[in-house]
Structure 1
Amino acid sequence: MTEKQVLNRAVVEDFLYEEASLLDEWRLDEWLEMLTDDASYYVPPNDAPDADHHDTLFIVADDIHRIKSRVKRLKSRHAHAENPKSKTRRMISNVRIRSVVENVAHVTANFVVYRFRRHEQIREYVGRYEYKLAIDGTQLRIAERKAILDSEELARLGSVSIIL
């Protein structure tokens, strides 16, 4: 986002598409640069998508330190669930800016993440993202990222070892 650009759906879409590309290409260090210093990443349980991570068991409830640890682990050849790395392809749609309050854009988008691994069935993770995007001068940064899965049966999806 340049100084002359106004925050609009196209700007947010480009940002989310870049994020999807970085994750699909396993450029996780570059993805980390898109996050604020106090970012969080959540995947709530499918039976309580609006629950609070402080009193409900989430699939993922990471603060920035846990996010960095997750990335370090995923990049390691000792991460057996991702060695060799899965191939993923993300589809992002229905991007909406819900509100902008004090330099934070509240954004939602639908997603499908396809995960391919040798000798495993194709996994399809479908749901919606809820973002809090910090407007930092001329750039956007992810302050909070929530991936809410639509699946009714999580066991069929297998382990969620990738960043959704």
Structure 2
Amino acid sequence: MTDRNRAELRDIAADFLAREALLLDERRFRDWYALLDDQLDYLVPMRIAMRDYADEFPQGAYRISDSKAHINIRINRLESDHAWAEVPPSRTLRVVGSLLVEPGERADEIAVISAMILYRQRGHDDVGDVIPVRRHDVLRITDEGVKLLKRKALITETVLHTPNLGVFL
């Protein structure tokens, strides 16, 4: 891979995250799955209210800890009649911004920190859920395109006000 400047890295990351959000909002899960690296590490740590920010994420405590194979199982369930948490399916809108982009540890990686607001509404619910998330991603540039290698999604809330996490962050 050739050296890229910060502006190029930012453009690559912004385009990837915007396309990813659209695919997920349109429930095109198989198209999104194609954007995942085979070595995917997808984490949603538990958060507890503590005085010091560094203590808010107990080591080894996760709401979700998935590999690409686990994500495939989740998508298979969403495509079946057995995804009870998603009946009726969620209608979502993901707004991604506040991108901070750095070269990754390897020449083919981009480290990205972003903020995401996920709006989720189901059925005829009067009020939808708003799930604020800070994401720490590593994107890998491959011959097949950009792939999501790692994601750590830090939900802002310590107590979830959404009934479940049947959606992808």
Query: Does the pair score TM above 0.5?
Result: yes
Q: Determine the structure 2 residue equivalent to 1:40.
A: 41
Residue 140 of structure 2 corresponds to residue 139 of structure 1: no
Residue 120 of structure 2 corresponds to residue 115 of structure 1: yes
Q: Which amino acid aligns with 2:147?
A: R
* 8 Å CA contact 1:40, 1:67 repeated in 2: no
Gaps of 5+ in 2: 49-54
Gaps of 5+ in 1: none
Q: CA deviation at 1:139?
A: 2.3
Q: Determine the structure 2 residue equivalent to 1:58.
A: 62
Q: TM-score, normalising length from structure 1?
A: 0.87
Structure 2: distance between partners of 1:40 and 1:70:
15
- Determine which of 121, 129, 147 is the counterpart of 2:135: 129
Q: Determine the structure 2 residue equivalent to 1:151.
A: 157
Tell me the SS of whatever aligns to 1:59. Answer: strand
* 8 Å CA contact 1:127, 1:148 repeated in 2: yes
Q: TM-score, normalising length from structure 2?
A: 0.84
Structure 1: distance between partners of 2:89 and 2:144:
34
* Residues 11-26 of structure 1 mapped to structure 2, 5 A cutoff: 11-26=12-27
Structure 2: distance between partners of 1:93 and 1:85:
25
- Determine which of 80, 83, 103 is the counterpart of 1:79: 83
The percentage of aligned residue pairs carrying the same residue is 28
Give the number of equivalent residue pairs: 158
Structure 1: distance between partners of 2:56 and 2:110:
20
Structure 2: distance between partners of 1:65 and 1:79:
17
CA deviation string 1:45-64 (max 9, x = no partner): 12266554xxx221000011
Q: Which amino acid aligns with 1:94?
A: S
Q: Which range moved further: 34-43 or 134-143?
A: 134-143
